[in-house]
Amino acid sequence: MNKKIAIISNLSWNLYNFRLSLMIAMREAGHEVIAIAPYDEYSQKIIDAGFEFHDIKMNAQGINPLEDLQTTYHFYRLFKKISPDVVCQYTIKPNIYGSFMAKVLKIDTINNIAGLGTLFIKQNFVTTIAKSLYKLSQSNAKRIFFQNSDDFKLFVEGGLVNVNRCDVLPGSGVDTNRFKPQEKEESENIRFLLIARMIWEKGIAQYVEAARAIRKRHSNVEFCLLGFLDVENPGAITKAQMNEWVEEGVVNYLGVSDRVDEVIHSADCIVLPSYYREGTPKTLLESGSTGKPIITTDNVGCRDVVDHGINGFICEPKSATDLELKIEMFLALSTEEKLEMGKQSRAKITREFDEKIVIDKYLECLV
């Protein structure tokens, strides 16, 4: 039976970059797919891809209860207007406030707990409130997907969800046909690349500190950063701070790109020293699929992508010293050993994280 499905996130950028393949697969299966997110420059790209789009007011990072009450009302009004059979929701506010309104209107709900960000790093009053809201909002969900086993365990053991309605996905999956290995021109220079929103919790400070130390010993090593700068987030890194690092000569900031695959191809190793509570970082999946060795932290979501010593190295969260050590270990590898690590990354991602696995799980829920 064909259904009207609303796919919802706190950013149009998120829908376009992370969910478009799923939306296309749902449409090809005969379903009507509608996108809902705050309007940004990527909203038009979603429309150009042939999808109906609805703007919704939502402060993705705010914790103002009046704003959230207004967001909840917007969900109610929008759901009444478009009358979806199913809502598929991503990110915290749709998962919570969209679920409340879907329950009121008797709409089937499929939620994706795609990482818990900074909210669950520190246990405080806001975390307690968030857990209560999750418990109430997920009580009527038809299916709740988690992107890693750590988050699944946290929610189940905390009594926030019914284990029988839950499943664990391999992150968001990755398009292994788009992100595939290409030959890289041989060079004496070694390029490390960190791809993320520029917030402190992604381990940016540790990356810069390690880069500063290593560049004193290795003149042929380059450390690059790619991702949104000065974002609306309490942990955002400012343009002034980034400019200071660039002027010092310790890192190169590459800005943002819609062709992240091309930037990944230019790197020798991908680094993500995150202590943010990740789902499973999409950039690591894309990089691994492209055949790149990975250095990341022993952190929720990150550790799932790397088999230590096989397709990369795992370091301690918040430790610039240990990150520096793992980078030195990579530099000490022969060219053949580095290439073999990249081959192992590609093999692991295609085996465990292909987006077809994720898409099939969603399509099963719609039967």
Could you read off the pLDDT of 63-82 as tens digits, one per residue?
Answer: 778 888 999 999 999 999 99
Q: Does residue 105 sit in the same domain as residue 211?
A: no
Going by pLDDT thresholds of 50, 70 and 90, the confidence category of residue 52 is very high
- Of 17 and 346, which is predicted with more confidence? 346
**pLDDT tens digits, 248-302:** 999 999 999 988 999 999 999 999 999 988 889 999 999 999 999 999 999 999 9
Q: Does residue 360 lie in a domain region?
A: no
How many folded domains does the chain comprise?
2
Final residue before a domain boundary, out of 133, 168, 203 = 168
Helix (H, G, I), strand (E, B) or coil at 110: strand
Q: Does residue 215 sit in the same domain as residue 156?
A: no
Q: Does residue 24 sit in the same domain as residue 57?
A: yes
Q: Does residue 242 lie in a domain region?
A: yes
CATH number for 270:
3.40.50.2000
Q: Is the pLDDT of residue 184 over 90?
A: no
Q: Does residue 151 sit in the same domain as residue 223?
A: no
Helix (H, G, I), strand (E, B) or coil at 305: helix
**pLDDT tens digits, 187-213:** 889 999 999 999 999 999 999 999 999
Quick one: pLDDT at residue 50? 97
Which pTM does this prediction carry?
A: 0.88
Share of the chain above pLDDT 90, in %: 81
Q: Does residue 115 sit in the same domain as residue 203?
A: no
Amino acid (one-letter) located at 1: M
Q: Does residue 139 sit in the same domain as residue 223?
A: no
Residue 231 domain boundaries: 190-352
Quick one: pLDDT at residue 123? 66
| Cα distance between residue 227 and residue 318, in whole Å | 20
Quick one: pLDDT at residue 122? 62
Q: Does residue 199 sit in the same domain as residue 288?
A: yes
Quick one: pLDDT at residue 1? 80
Q: Is the pLDDT of residue 135 over 70?
A: yes
Q: Does residue 203 sit in the same domain as residue 326?
A: yes
Amino acid (one-letter) located at 305: V
CB 306 within 8 Å of CB 314: yes
Residue 311's alpha-carbon distances to 65, 210, 318, in angstroms, are 44, 21, 22
- Of 156 and 367, which is predicted with more confidence? 156
Q: Does residue 177 lie in a domain region?
A: no
* Range list of H helices, the chain: 12-14, 20-28, 43-48, 65-82, 92-93, 99-104, 125-137, 149-157, 204-215, 239-248, 260-265, 282-289, 320-331, 335-352, 355-365
Q: Does residue 194 sit in the same domain as residue 334?
A: yes
Q: Does residue 254 sit in the same domain as residue 303?
A: yes
Q: Is the pLDDT of residue 121 over 70?
A: no
Q: Does residue 147 lie in a domain region?
A: yes
Arithmetic mean of pLDDT over the chain? 93
